[in-house]
Amino acid sequence: MTDTSELPAAIGDVYETVVARNAHEPEFQQAVHEVLGSIAPVLEAHPEFVDGGILERVVEPERQIVFRVPWVDDAGRLQVNRGFRVQFSSVLGPYKGGLRFHPSVNLSIIKFLGFEQIFKNALTGQGIGGAKGGSDFDPHGRSDAEVMRFCQSFMGELYRHLGEHTDVPAGDIGVGAREIGYLFGQYRKITNRHESGMFTGKGVQWGGAEVRTEATGYGAVFFAQEMLGVHGDMFDGKRVAVSGSGNVAIYAIDKAHQLGAKAITASDSTGYVIDDAGIDVDLLRQVKEVERARVDEYARRRPSARFVEGRRPWEVAVDVAIPSATQNELDEADAAALIANGVRVVVEGANMPSTPGAVDAFRAAGVLFGPGKAANAGGVATSALEMSQNAARQRWNFEDSERKLRSIMRDVHHSAFAAAERYGHPGDYVVGANSAGFERVAHAMLAQGVI
């Protein structure tokens, strides 16, 4: 990821500094390269962004917090994990971005996610900054009591950096309704404040917003619907491959079915299931969310499904692919297989699931490609709606909330689509999303001075 030959000089210099300063952070370098590699036309149109040192500043987090998380497991043994919060940019609003609990978490992963979040949040137009956090704690196989003790210890340190006007986390991989409850409860106890707006993704009974749970998956499908609409096509009748079987995947499958498509795959880190009758969302939720089992259990209980161990769903012939598990889960060979099988649309439910080689392959083949920064922005946009409802002490119903999400995704699509046209790359949503997001951030940074 150190090749700067294809980048204009001003951008290449900044990128080389990023590589030198963050030498052991390949995911962060990859995310920076992807953004810097597509905004040359913006910098040409706005030389003041170069003169104002926007690039040098935007690649450096405003603040990075790394901390010890000690806790005691059910056997009475001491465990120590590492906690992170990278507060990347508050130029457009309070820091906003999820927490990820997964053994692969390190500073590189959190920084790539925080960097992406800046531009994604800008694209939503909701007045939120960019951040990300988490821990290398693995909730798989842990009891509820262990997860609670871990969350309490994690928040015992992180609380001092949070607040409804300062930094507002949400869930991500490994952080769902259970973890958010424990984290919010501990914050409330330590601070002696019921500050609803300091966390999003809360249960709807205690300050959460309708549609937040569904928003990322639903939003990704709405984004795909917009992309298809540009070409006079629709979701109805499409065959869809989804990876992952967590929050994003489940609701992407759900919305695809509501729109008349058939989603036939789901996966986890052990392999994937293919179900020619269409994935049964209720069964998948039961297996993954209630029983916290692996996806092979789904295939065992569903006669029309089979489990393919150790492989990814990209070998299945589909019209639409929605990678919704994790970063770099779809490589160049996977992209070639999807293209050979006639895929027409790829939308990223996950953050950076496609490798740079895969993205290039999709663009070269004329596949409609919706990058995560735009396609999965529905989750954080609905989090911003949750913050608004908390501030106004209101609760909107499901139908109104979904209508708002639908309209926000239409706007996000329009912003990316229009920016791609404006900067001479019509139909290229990577250029469009990065340019539109970057423009908003850069204008605000220039206006607010050198800080």
Q: Tokens standing for 216?
A: 């990322």
Stretch that binds ligand NDP, among 84-92, 319-327, 425-433, 437-445 (CB under 6 A): 319-327
Q: Tokens standing for 208?
A: 């959460």
Torsions phi, psi for 414 (to 5 deg): -60, -45
**For ligand NDP, which residue of 208, 246, 313, 437 counts as binding (CB under 6 A)?**
246
**For ligand NDP, which residue of 114, 370, 379, 432 counts as binding (CB under 6 A)?**
379
Smallest separation (angstroms) from ligand NDP to the CB of 153: 20
Q: For 51, which DSSP code?
A: H
**For ligand NDP, which residue of 93, 130, 174, 197 counts as binding (CB under 6 A)?**
174
x/- map, 390-429, ligand NDP, by CB under 6 A: ----------------------------------------
Contacts of 78 (CB under 8 A, 6+ apart): 70, 71, 72
Q: How far apart are CA 53 and CA 369, in angstroms?
A: 31
**For ligand NDP, which residue of 58, 109, 147, 350 counts as binding (CB under 6 A)?**
350
**For ligand NDP, which residue of 38, 200, 324, 355 counts as binding (CB under 6 A)?**
324
Q: How far apart are CA 84 and CA 101, in angstroms?
A: 10
Using CB atoms, what's the residue nearest to ligand NDP?
246
Smallest separation (angstroms) from ligand NDP to the CB of 168: 13
**Contacting ligand NDP within 358-377 (CB under 6 A):** 376
Q: For 295, which DSSP code?
A: T
Contact between 115 and 130 under an 8 Å Cβ cutoff? The reply is: yes
Site residue total, ligand NDP (CB under 6 A): 24
- Interface with ligand NDP, residue 265, by CB under 6 A: no
- Interface with ligand NDP, residue 248, by CB under 6 A: yes
**Cβ nearer to ligand NDP, comparing 4 with 324:** 324
Stretch that binds ligand NDP, among 239-247, 330-338, 358-366, 394-402 (CB under 6 A): 239-247
Nearest of 281, 356, 358, 345 to residue 312 by alpha carbon: 358
Torsion of CA 197, 202, 206, 207, to 10 degrees: 40
Stretch that binds ligand NDP, among 9-17, 244-252, 391-399, 406-414 (CB under 6 A): 244-252
Taken in order 442, 438, 114, 56, the sign of the CA dihedral is: negative
DSSP codes, 74-126 = TTS-EEEEEEEEEEEE-SSSSEEEEEEE-TT--HHHHHHHHHHHHHHHHHHTS
**Contacting ligand NDP within 80-109 (CB under 6 A):** 102
Is 202 considered catalytic here? no
Contacts of 257 (CB under 8 A, 6+ apart): 263, 278, 281
**For ligand NDP, which residue of 156, 244, 313, 371 counts as binding (CB under 6 A)?**
244
Nearest of 137, 159, 151, 146 to residue 81 by alpha carbon: 137
Q: How far apart are CA 446 and CA 51, in angstroms?
A: 10
**For ligand NDP, which residue of 274, 325, 442, 445 counts as binding (CB under 6 A)?**
325
- Interface with ligand NDP, residue 326, by CB under 6 A: yes
- Interface with ligand NDP, residue 269, by CB under 6 A: yes
Q: Can you list the positions of beta strands (E) in 300-420? A: 305-309, 320-322, 345-347, 368-370
**For ligand NDP, which residue of 37, 83, 94, 349 counts as binding (CB under 6 A)?**
349
Torsions phi, psi for 369 (to 5 deg): -120, 115
**Cβ nearer to ligand NDP, comparing 102 with 440:** 102
- Interface with ligand NDP, residue 226, by CB under 6 A: no
Catalytic residue among 96, 132, 238, 404: 132
Catalytic residues: 132
Binding site for ligand NDP (CB under 6 A): 102, 171-174, 176, 216, 244-249, 268-269, 324-326, 329, 349-351, 376, 379
